[in-house]
Structure 1
Amino acid sequence: MIATLDATDRALLDRWQRGFPLVPHPFREIAAAHGIGEGEAVDRLASLAARGAISRLGATLRPNTAGASTLAAVAAPEDRIAEVAGAIGAEPGVNHSYLRENAWNIWFVATGPDRAHVDATLARIAEATGLAVLDLPLLRPFNIDLGFPLAGHAPMPPPLPVGQLGGIAEDDRALMQALTDGLEIAARPFAVLGAALGMGEAVAIARIRRLLELRVISRLGLILRHRALGWTSNAMVVWQVPEAGIDGIGPRLAAQPGVTLCYQRRPVPGVWPYTLYAMIHARSRPEALEVLERARAAAGLGGVPEAVLFSLRCFKQRGALVAHRPGGEAAA
């Protein structure tokens, strides 16, 4: 846990998880909002990143817009967990991997430029581990923002609404990959980004603004390492909600304080019947269960079959894979 956060550190981490200023000197605006100097703002956030509090400064993308992704799981024998997790984490397209409390115990997100890439990743994992892979594609997102307040379950600024998307240009893929990998925490991060991609600073800013307007980028700002910040009791909760009930229940569940992700996924009949998913991030197991109890009641999920999968260990956390290299290989 990062223990030495002062009030300014916490304010920076809370405020700039989204809405990062799209201007040539974004840290001037950030500094002015907190009564500090531009250099101090850069130094503080660079220090927090070096200490593991910040995963990256960058973007989260709406799933299956810039590329493809799926949630997947395997049931690894206890004595093979480290081996299997290593094989899964070695895949460049796997951007998140966790050990969770369930017979299906290693959960991961496989991403890629297209569904064929994701399928190939899953096939290699199945072959390497000798285990069946549970493939649970996203059907409908209700909240994919994954921002949360450090001080508790106070309301956060609302995520971008989920609606109809416009088209994206093929040449935006390299830009989106760079944003998911992370911006440099420097006085002019968009100038650094533009130089790396062969475009000017103003062009980079304009293209990012367009991707936000199209809702391809769901959030631009600080991506935090919640475990390092004391949010160590995190649970994926799944419900067996019939298709007819998803429309009403999903948005209510997504709106509950403490629910940091909410979406519908395709079930696997006879194996995994759950259709509605939520993530709860909390500082203790009792707190997480209190959030779950309130959310369950508010969303009308009492009595609906459910499973609660607390995370035990994080194996991998990074941005999604969305772009191919010029030679045809996906970007690592």
Structure 2
Amino acid sequence: MARIHPLLLDIDSAEFRLLNDWQRGFPLVPCPFAVIGDRVGLSEQAVIERYLDWVTSGVVSRVGAVFAPRRLGAGALVALAVPPERLDDVAARVSAEPGVNHNYEREHAFNLWFVASAADDKALRRMVCSIEADTGCHALILPLEEEFHIDLGFDLSGRCAADRAECESRVSGSTATACALPEMERSLFAALQRGLPIMPAPWAGVGQRVGLNENMVIEIVSRALEDGLIRRFGVVVRHHELGIKANAMCVWDVPDELASTLGRQLARYPGVTLCYRRARSLPHWPYNLFCMIHGSVRETVLAQRDEIARSLGLDHFPHAVLFSGRRFKQSGAHYLPLGPESGHG
């Protein structure tokens, strides 16, 4: 299949809809790719081939679950101050950890930022301590304290307001913690961390690998979506490959008593793709309110950020903007020991 830059596709084309419309609301039916094909005017096989092609080329990370932070285990944003001449080597060591799912260079003295996930806080600390010991770099560990808007995907059409409003009551202000899971659910979720196999009967396929029948797999996933343990289930795109390369982490040091109110207000702006409150790490990191703004052009992202900050009066507080540089790793979070290999076909 010819590779066409997704952002150049007509928003009414089948290819655009495959990338954009199924980032959430994935069909919980035995043959989901056939249902998607019916909706967009393609055969089941054509849909499968396109998704497999996009996974191979890196446009799509996986088709699968995005789990709510801290519901399956422990996680934190971690930063290292790495001598520039050692950045490649240290980044490679960090990316080698299965529990690291995002690893980016950023414009700051703390120039390497990664997201670490583990089964519990002790395992997370062991992972970070191992990285510190191997690299000689002190780590800032910034656990999530309150989420306002996290991972609803990238609306490539620019019409994201409806999705934001639909999920706001379930997401905004959440402080959920890890839950105990029966072994049946743990096995399934561990396997799903790699993504759903891209095949005609994917639920049956993943069920065979963990000893569950198709109906039970669908029921467990449906229940997890209703409960919020799974934030969304669908196509997980890689924004760099979609031309969304200006990635700014915007941070403020706001009084703790104002953080929740300001975070909820900040999360409502369409340009904000992620928003949360994290613990400070004094004296090196005083900031507690975070948001991400993604776009195609750096100047546009900065203009969005400045307008949002002006509207809320945020720049009365100490602040910083950290644009990303190189991306060393981007994958799904691994809270649980990886389940049986599911593959894509």
Same fold (TM over 0.5): yes
Are positions 1:272 and 2:291 aligned together? no
What residue in structure 2 maps to residue 292 of structure 1? Answer: 305
Give the alignment partner of residue 271 of structure 2, picking from 241, 244, 258. Answer: 258
SS at structure 2 position matched to 1:322: coil
Give the alignment partner of residue 17 of structure 2, picking from 8, 11, 18. Answer: 11
TM-score normalised to structure 1 length: 0.93
Q: How far apart are 1:4 and its partner, in Å?
A: 4.1
CA contact (8 A) 1:165 1:216 kept: no
What residue in structure 2 maps to residue 244 of structure 1? Answer: 257
What letter corresponds to residue 60 of structure 2 in structure 1? I
TM-score normalised to structure 2 length: 0.89
Aligned equivalents of 1:296 and 1:49: distance in 2?
37
Q: What are the ranges of 5 or more consecutive residues in structure 2 without an aligned counterpart? A: 340-345
Aligned equivalents of 1:251 and 1:315: distance in 2?
31
What residue in structure 1 maps to residue 215 of structure 2? Answer: 202
Q: How far apart are 1:325 and its partner, in Å?
A: 6.8
Give the alignment partner of residue 307 of structure 1, picking from 300, 320, 327. Answer: 320
Give the alignment partner of residue 179 of structure 1, picking from 192, 202, 205. Answer: 192
CA contact (8 A) 1:190 1:204 kept: yes
SS at structure 2 position matched to 1:104: coil
- Structure 2 matches for 1:1-332, cutoff 5 A? 3-5=4-6, 6=9, 7-152=13-158, 154-155=160-161, 157-158=163-164, 159=167, 161-162=170-171, 163=174, 167-171=179-183, 172-324=185-337
Aligned equivalents of 1:174 and 1:322: distance in 2?
12
Deviations 1:71-97 (A, max 9, x none): 001000010001110111111211110
What residue in structure 2 maps to residue 330 of structure 1? Answer: none
CA RMSD of aligned residues (A): 1.9
Q: How far apart are 1:269 and its partner, in Å?
A: 2.1
Q: How far apart are 1:299 and its partner, in Å?
A: 3.5
CA contact (8 A) 1:126 1:133 kept: yes
Q: How far apart are 1:146 and its partner, in Å?
A: 4.3
CA contact (8 A) 1:148 1:156 kept: no
CA contact (8 A) 2:14 2:42 kept: no
What letter corresponds to residue 202 of structure 2 in structure 1? P
Aligned equivalents of 1:261 and 1:294: distance in 2?
17
Identity across aligned pairs (percent)? 40
Change (3 A) 1:146 1:78: farther
Aligned equivalents of 1:188 and 1:296: distance in 2?
47
What letter corresponds to residue 170 of structure 1 in structure 2? P
Aligned equivalents of 1:74 and 1:170: distance in 2?
36
Aligned equivalents of 2:181 and 2:31: distance in 1?
26
